[in-house]
Amino acid sequence: GDSVTQMEGPVTLSEEAFLTINCTYTATGYPSLFWYVQYPGEGLQLLLKATKADDKGSNKGFEATYRKETTSFHLEKGSVQVSDSAVYFCALSGNFGNEKLTFGTGTRLTIIP
Amino acid sequence: NAGVTQTPKFQVLKTGQSMTLQCAQDMNHEYMSWYRQDPGMGLRLIHYSVGAGITDQGEVPNGYNVSRSTTEDFPLRLLSAAPSQTSVYFCASSYTTPLQGGEEQYFGPGTRLTVT
Interface contact flag, A94 B45, Cβ < 8 Å: no
Distance CA A88, CA A6 (A): 9
Contact A46, A60 (CB under 8 A): no
Residue B47: HSE in the Cβ half-sphere, 13 Å Cα cutoff: 20
Interface contact flag, A46 B105, Cβ < 8 Å: yes
Residues of B in contact with A52 (CB under 8 A): none
Burial of A5 (0-12, 13-18, 19+ CB in 10 A): middle
**Nearest CA to A66 among A96, A90, A45, A37?**
A90
Instruction: Look at residue A86 and tell me whether its pLDDT is greater than 60.
Output: yes
Cβ-based neighbour number of residue A7 at 10 Å: 17
pLDDT for position A93: 84
> What is the least distance, in Å, from the CA of A68 to any CA of chain B?
16
Distance CA B78, CA B57 (A): 14
Single-letter amino acid code for the residue at B22: Q
Which candidate from B48, B100, B102 shows the least CB-CB separation from A100? B48
Residues comprising chain B, all counted: 116
Show the CA angle centred on residue A66, arms to residues A103 and A91, nearest 5°.
Answer: 10
Residues of B in contact with A4 (CB under 8 A): 42
Exposure string of B59-80, with b = 16+ CB inside 10 Å and e = fewer, is: ebbeebebbbeebbebbbebee
Interface contact flag, A100 B56, Cβ < 8 Å: no
Give residue-wise pLDDT tens across range B14-73: 999 999 999 999 999 999 999 999 988 889 999 999 999 999 999 899 999 999 999 999
Q: Mutating which of A30, A101, A103 best tests the B interface, going by the most B Cβ atoms within 10 A?
A: A101
Contact A33, A64 (CB under 8 A): yes
Confidence of residue A38 (pLDDT cuts 50, 70, 90): very high
Distance CA B107, CA A43 (A): 6
Residues of A in contact with B56 (CB under 8 A): 99
pLDDT for position A7: 84
Confidence of residue A97 (pLDDT cuts 50, 70, 90): low
Burial of A89 (0-12, 13-18, 19+ CB in 10 A): buried
pLDDT for position B2: 81
